[in-house]
Amino acid sequence: MFICDISVFNRNGKVRLDEILEPLRVDWRELVVILVIDQVPGISQSRIIPFLQTDKANVTKFLQSMEKKGLLRRAVVKFDRRNKACHLTPKGAALAPKLREALDRWEDECFRGIDAGDRDAFRKVSAQVLHNLMKEHDREQ
């Protein structure tokens, strides 16, 4: 069943990614936050929530723990004091290229034994499934 496949991909994929990331002393969630902030410096913490598959309170706690590790800093947004903008520290920024390498390694492991054409087809189908799911999600909101 497709739903089971998604669940197995999600669980086992994150476990393997965490194993690859262990020498860098980060986990998959920290990787996601660092790479998102690297792509969108100053992103509000509320915009990070969908990437972490959890709620606002847990994201806030998680970002606080990343601040304590010296990976990012948060600053109050001028026009919305309830929200904070997220920026990488030099330590967090220095990790970004290493995290991209780790992610490439993980992706290579995931696609081992699958030729380039099938990889492209998988990406295309995955993008369409995601689009379909997001479209339904947007309608419900």
> What would the pLDDT profile of 14-70 be if each residue is shown by its tens digit?
999 999 999 999 999 999 999 999 999 999 998 999 899 899 999 999 999 999 999
Best CA proximity match to 45, nearest among 21, 67, 28, 25? 67
Give the gyration radius of the chain's Cα atoms: 17
Mean pLDDT estimate for the chain: 92
Burial 22-54, CB ≥16 within 10 A → b, else e: eeeebebbbbbbbbbbbeeeebbbeebeeebee
| Token reading at 41 | 């410096």
Phi, psi of 44 (to 5 degrees): -75, 145
- The CATH class that applies to domain 2-110 reads mainly alpha
**pTM assigned to the model:** 0.86
Query: In Å, how far from its chain's centre is CA 140?
Result: 24
Percent of the chain with pLDDT over 90: 79
Domains of the chain, residue spans:
2-110, 115-141
The pLDDT assigned to 114 comes to 97
Best CA proximity match to 99, nearest among 42, 39, 40, 20? 20
| Token reading at 109 | 């492991």
